[in-house]
A and B are shown apart, each in its own frame.
Chain A
Amino acid sequence: MLNDRFDASARGDATPEFVPTPSAGAREDALRPEAEAFADREVPLRGVRPAMAVQQWLDGDVDEAVARAASPADVDVWHALGTAYAAKADVKAPAGFEDRVMAALPARPMGNIAPRAD
């Protein structure tokens, strides 16, 4: 079951080192997409997951067997996430979008209109 895959304590893992600051709720999170975002950092933190072999597998650099040998739980997590973002990859622009854009265009590109002499 997926919940088992997410059970970090069952694997004896330490609490992730960069847990975001708790907020009052999901609404606040949505309102402040960056306020509590993870800061950019150049050096990976120790002990963070997914394991490096899993990162390399997700990058296409090594086979799944290599990643699974390093961390089967991480591989399972990313298989599950893969189904979630696969749906996003099928999204298309709304129906009628092309017509709406064409209707909003001026007769000629404005950049091509010569500036007035006055």
Chain B
Amino acid sequence: MISPESAVEQVPVDTDQETISQVLAGDRNAFSLLIRKYSDPLYRHALGMTGSPDVAEDILQTSFIKAYNHLGEVRGRFDAWLFRIVANGCKDWLKNIRRTHVSYEEDDQPSGYAGPDEELDRSELRDDLDRALARLAPSLREAFIMKHVEGRSYEEMADVLGTTVGALKMRVHRAREALQSMLEEKYAC
């Protein structure tokens, strides 16, 4: 269920190296091809991790600029390298938020959950899923989003994150346990 093929998987990686060569040779505009190719899946990741469209865009913009400035240092797959820049940006932001306790959501909602007789619609469930995701440890949230929102395989996740399939399965399983527990707690009569 819910395994849309990400743009990252659909694009041959070799073309990235050609584009990078063009940029490094002075064709600045060629970088827009990389932005166009990767901005959607990376934005989904950043939005899932931060829960804020504005923050997600800021992190993504900063990441692309950082990638551009260090393009000559790319070794191996560009998409994995770029993903790590974005993922680290999200984690840094989460650390900073935790340290400063500054709210990043204007519409933090009171806990007015649906009563037992109230029908739950999709938007309510989406909101509750967002809240539940925000309560997960970043490593669990990251693994769940990569698996279920970005539709990546465990093997691809392991490749990008530099860890093992077993470790990632454990994180995704724990994320599911936690999400189900939290959502059941809210909606149980």
Contacts and interface: CB of A to CB of B under 8 A. Distances in A.
Interface string A2-29: 1100111110000010111000011101
Nearest to B114: A3
Contacts of A117: none
Interface in B100-135: 101-105, 108-111, 114, 116-120, 122, 125-126, 128-129, 131, 134-135
B84 interface: no
Contact of A93 (B26, B60, B139, B151): B60
A55 B135 contact: no
B103 to A, nearest CB: 6
B109 A85 contact: no
A48 B111 contact: no
B26 A81 contact: no
Interface stretch (B9-17, B38-46, B75-83): B38-46
B3 to A, nearest CB: 8
Interface in B12-55: 23-24, 26, 28-29, 31-32, 35-36, 39-40, 42-44, 47-48, 51, 53
Interface in A69-109: 74, 77-94, 97-98, 100-102, 104-109
Nearest to A58: B176
A30 B40 contact: no
A89 B129 contact: no
Nearest to B149: A88
Given A2-B119, A77-B180, A82-B2, 6 more contacts: A2-B120, A3-B120, A9-B188, A38-B178, A84-B122, A94-B57
13 contacts: A26-B110, A31-B97, A32-B98, A33-B135, A36-B135, A37-B140, A38-B178, A50-B176, A55-B173, A74-B180, A82-B1, A84-B125, A93-B39
Q: Give 3 nearest A-B pairs by CB, closest first.
A: A6-B187, A93-B39, A93-B43
